[in-house]
Chain A
């Protein structure tokens, strides 16, 4: 299943300029706050809570920060391609340049887990990440995210 049901076109950031993991999470929280109408602080707090358990970088330059936000009305996704790769405390040590943020309502339960697994599995496809890295504008990035994964 493509990821376009989790993310809206305006939630794609083609070239985010950040230098550290903390700054990246702050920027993402700010964008997410604009689009969801929640405060930047509560979103950042949720993301940091998850990062404290272990980095959400899954290797090969990809990170999927996520968390649960009470009273959100549906799953919310935000994608950013970083201008320059940054250290994200990944297990494989590789700097991260592709970030998919997912916020889930308190009630999402299994849908939250399924969505996360789908994102992780799709972004593990080398073909998909290659295409994402080759795309430089919002439309092109969104088109790749809307592709059906090769492993249907």
Chain B
């Protein structure tokens, strides 16, 4: 019975450890510490050298868990990436993800030779291991802080971090193979790389399309859609790896394709993967933390710091500036992209491969990678917001995204129902306008469910439910962001130009070409507003007129005095996308539920 007890004990200890990781995130969110760092720290504390004293050196287990976690993270990253974003920055991101990784590795290698006393191939391996930026770390730090960047910059950084992992993995495996003594000629190596990339792409595309098709055809029991997709992702990963294609590339592409097609149970799948990647990430970081030997790391601390320094201040900036030279970015943007080269679990995970294979110096690679990741998360992670400020790259104020309830509507894929709580001050209340693709369906007020006609004007405190195409739901978030009270009335929100309300619709149409019906041409704007609203206007009331919108501006004695012209429908401001933003939100919600219980 002892062995059964041992199993129970390890389940207890393991789950307690994960619980500690989850709860520590509360502290991390409060103090703005990089969350991933906290997970690593908890793992290290529980490990051999920490107070936990748990002996753990199962590299194989860590590698397996790491692979599964990475596959899920990449799949999830693909699933959340919109083609539009992907396409707009594909060229710069892909150059960064391939040439950039290679340059970074090559520029870091001299430190390995001169400071660590390694051979060139070994030094290159050190460079390759720490060359890729980490999607999880980047997403989380960019979004978790409510930092808003110019969309092009944010998209470049995100797509780069999502696509450079497969390449860094290629490079690492290649170098490990060479060091392990395999005799391959360069053409063979190149062919191998091309085969991996091609195979991964092919499998990813086929799997993405096939999964979307299967999902919409098979009548799976409710609740099994999400596990189905998640398992398929792992099958795709495993299959690719077995047949010698790049599994990481395949899952990323499969996710990308699946995420951009109308599929059943989209919300459920995204939610499930959210939870799954969170858990995968926590477990991976805890295991990698456990695997570390902080006491032995002291010996390599100084050379490892040298590697980290060169990586952050020399290799990455040079690689970024060279790779982005053909593209249109300002030097500030390039500098910022250089600084956001956050390293994360991938680095440590890659460093565990030499351990697994049993290369000489394997321990050294691992220790160096571990220190580099720690330093990167600490230094770059914590200075991200100040760096954005210094380089004047942030846009607008930071906002916390609103909570959105997503409801699938069975029977069709085109629309879903999303719900928001209407705060006291948000763009929706101010403009009384939602994009034309969203339709108000229900209003919940004081625990009563009302149709929009019954409810009349929306008030603060209401819950509103809107019908939207699922892929656009996130774009609505910004209309319901709670904003600090405005200092002065922001006339920019009311209109691009202002006109008196006693002019006629016809005179306005002559200048702006609005297509007004002949019988309305002689009406004044004030009369037209009063007729359309059926009540005295209030500043901010918005009515569409032809292709533009008119906004009540000044009202004198219940009659309109001036009108704002909004010439173009407001762009839904950039959506807070990214897995990490959602993860942070979910975690916060989870934590609050926890505290309330």
Interface of chain B: mostly helix, strand, loop or mixed: mixed
Q: Is the CB of A53 within 8 A of B503?
A: yes
Q: Report whether B512 and A112 are in contact in the complex, using a CB–CB cutoff of 8 Å.
A: yes
Complexed CA–CA distance, A150 and B562 (Å): 29
Complex contacts, B512 vs chain A, CB 8 Å: 112-113
Residues of B close to A113: CB separation below 8 A: 512, 547-548, 567-568
Name the residue of chain A whose CB is nearest to the CB of B513: A109
Cβ contacts under 8 Å, A50 to chain B: 511
Q: Is A58 a contact partner of B497 (Cβ separation < 8 A)?
A: yes
- Of the candidates A91, A120, A121, A151, which one forms a contact with B562 in the assembled complex, judged by CB atoms under 8 Å apart? A91
Mask for A98-135, Cβ within 8 A of B = 1, else 0?
A: 00000000000110111011001100100000000000
A152: chain B residues at CB < 8 Å are: 150-152
Q: How far is the CA of A114 from the CA of B548 in the complex (A)?
A: 10
Tell me the minimal C-beta distance from B462 to chain A in angstroms.
29
Which residue in chain A gives the minimum CB-CB distance to B153? Answer: A152
B327 to chain A, nearest CB (A): 13
| Complex CA distance for A13 and B543, rounded to whole angstroms | 38
Taken together as a complex, chains A and B put the C-alpha atoms of A119 and B454 apart, in Å, by 40
Are B511 and A68 in contact, CB atoms less than 8 angstroms apart? yes
Option from A54, A64, A68 in Cβ contact (under 8 Å) with B500: A54
Can you list 16 A-B pairs, Cβ within 8 angstroms, ordered by A? A54-B498, A54-B503, A55-B498, A56-B497, A59-B491, A66-B511, A113-B567, A113-B568, A116-B567, A117-B496, A117-B567, A117-B568, A120-B497, A120-B567, A151-B395, A152-B150
**A77, CB-defined interface residue at 8 Å:** no
Q: A64 contacts B511, CB within 8 Å? A: no
Chain A residues with CB under 8 Å of chain B are: 49-50, 53-56, 58-59, 64, 66-68, 91-92, 109-110, 112-114, 116-117, 120-121, 124, 150-152
Tell me, rounded to whole Å, the shortest Cβ–Cβ distance linking B330 to chain A.
Answer: 8
Write out the residue numbers on chain A whose beta carbons fall within 8 Å of the beta carbon of B562.
Answer: 54, 91
Q: A91-B562, A121-B496 are in contact. Are A53 and B548 (CB under 8 A)?
A: no
CB-based contact B497/A114 at 8 Å: no
Given A91-B498, A121-B492, A152-B152, are A67 and B511 also a contact pair (CB < 8 Å)? yes
Q: Are A150 and B395 in contact (CB under 8 A)?
A: yes
In the complex, A123→B508 CA distance in Å? 23
* B19: min CB distance to chain A, Å: 43
Q: Which residues does chain B contribute within 8 Å of A54, judged by CB atoms?
A: 497-500, 503, 562
Which chain B residue shows the least CB distance to A90?
Answer: B498
Q: How far is the CA of A150 from the CA of B568 in the complex (A)?
A: 18
A49, A54, A58, A120: residue with the most chain B Cβ atoms closer than 10 Å: A54
Which residues from B are CB-within-8-Å of A151? 395-396
Known: A113-B548, A114-B568. A64 touches B492 (CB 8 A): no
Query: Restricting to B402-446, which residues have a CB under 8 Å from any CB of A?
Result: none
B contact residues vs A (CB 8 Å cutoff): 150-152, 395-396, 491-492, 496-500, 503, 507-508, 510-513, 547-548, 562, 566-568
The answer to whether B547 and A110 touch across the interface, beta carbons within 8 angstroms, is yes
Q: In the complex, what distance in Å separates the CA atom of A67 from the CA atom of B508?
A: 11
Smallest Cβ distance from A94 to chain B, in angstroms?
12
Chain A residues near B511: list those with CB within 8 A: 49-50, 53, 66-68
On chain B, the residues within 8 Å of A58 by CB distance are: 491, 496-498
Given the interface contacts A109-B513, A113-B512, does A120 sit within 8 Å of B496 by beta carbon? yes
Given contacts A68-B511, A152-B152, 20 further A-B contacts (CB under 8 A): A49-B511, A53-B500, A53-B511, A54-B498, A58-B497, A64-B497, A66-B511, A68-B513, A91-B562, A92-B491, A110-B547, A112-B512, A113-B512, A114-B568, A116-B567, A117-B568, A120-B496, A120-B567, A150-B395, A151-B396
With a CB–CB cut-off of 8 A, which chain A residues contact B498? 54-55, 58, 91
CB-CB under 8 A from A117, the residues of chain B are 496, 566-568
- Contact residues in B for A116 (Cβ distance below 8 Å): 496-497, 567
Closest chain-A Cβ to B48's Cβ sits at a distance in Å of: 50
For A49, list chain B residues within 8 Å (CB): 510-511
Q: How far is the CA of A151 from the CA of B393 in the complex (A)?
A: 11
Please give the distance in Å from A10's CB to the nearest CB on chain B.
25
**Which listed residue, B150, B396, B491, touches A91 by the CB 8 Å rule?**
B491
In the complex formed, the residue of B with least CB distance to A147 is B330
| A112 vs B509: C-alpha distance when bound (angstroms) | 13
Contact A53 B499 (CB under 8 A): yes
Counting chain B CB atoms within 10 Å of each CB, which of A50, A113, A151 scores highest? Answer: A113
Contacts of B513 on A, CB cut-off 8 Å? 68, 109, 112
- Bound state CA distance, A117 and B568, in angstroms? 6
User: Which B residues are in CB contact (< 8 Å) with A109?
Assistant: 513
Docked complex Cα distance between A151 and B507 (Å): 32
CA distance in complex: A6, B300 (Å): 59
Q: Which residues of A contact B548 (CB under 8 A)?
A: 113
User: Smallest distance from the beta carbon of B561 to chain A beta carbons, Å?
Assistant: 11
Complex: A64 Cα to B512 Cα, angstroms: 14
Chain A CB count within 10 A is highest, among B395, B497, B498, B567, for B497
A-side contacts of B508, CB under 8 Å: 53
| Inter-chain contacts of A112 with B (CB < 8 A) | 512-513
The distance in angstroms between the C-alpha atoms of A58 and B491, with both chains bound, is 9
Assembled-state Cα–Cα distance A133/B562 (Å):
29
Smallest CB separation, B507 vs chain A (Å): 6
CA A68 – CA B510 in complex, angstroms?
9
Residue of A nearest to B525 (CB): A53
Cα of A136 to Cα of B498 in the assembled complex, Å: 29
